[in-house]
Amino acid sequence: MSLPSNDLTAAIAATRFGLGGRPGELARLGHDPKGWLIEQIRPDAVIQPLNPVGLPFADSASRIMDYYAFRQAEKAAGADQDKRQAAGAMFRAAEPVELFGRANVAITTEQPFAERWALFWSNHFTVSLRKGGEMSALAAGFEREAIRPHVFGRF
């Protein structure tokens, strides 16, 4: 069974330029997929992730201070591996919450092309939590503060 032309165009647009069709999305963009895409190309289309209780995340300056405190605690722990791991766990505790916020935006956004573009630029500038290390806790702030505000502009 083949899809009618508008349905096929809508499915291609949702898949290629969005994050895949969510329930009802193909019907919304079916009449004008090109207009749906163009409407999203504006600076305010990119949504900032929020933590699970709906508040903004800590800014990078706060996270850098947390990192500095972590490094001090790590130095104070010396060779005591348990204390070093405890200091690292405290610092890295925000990472899963940051990932939840980012995933929540991808799932709920009404602007999937803008979100896909934000993810593209994050990947382009190699923002990654998978690389590990303490600096990975600063990656989400970098994405929120340096990439998302400029997705459709200049960096």
Q: What is the pLDDT of residue 28?
A: 82
Indicate the angle between helix axes 112-124 and 94-108, nearest 10 degrees: 140
Instruction: Count CA atoms closer than 13 A to 141's CA, side-chain side.
Output: 16
What does each of the 155 residues of the chain score in pLDDT, given as a tens digit? 555 567 788 888 888 999 988 888 888 887 888 999 999 999 888 999 988 888 888 888 888 887 788 778 878 877 787 877 776 776 677 778 888 888 999 999 999 999 999 999 988 887 656 665 556 667 788 888 999 999 998 87
d(CA 133, CA 115) in angstroms, rounded, equals 26
User: For the whole prediction, is pTM greater than 0.85?
Assistant: no
Indicate the angle between helix axes 81-92 and 94-108, nearest 10 degrees: 30
Indicate the angle between helix axes 60-77 and 81-92, nearest 10 degrees: 170
d(CA 25, CA 57) in angstroms, rounded, equals 29
Burial (CB count <10 Å: 0-12, 13-18, 19+), residue 54: exposed
Q: What is the pLDDT of residue 115?
A: 93
Strands (E) located in 15-155: none
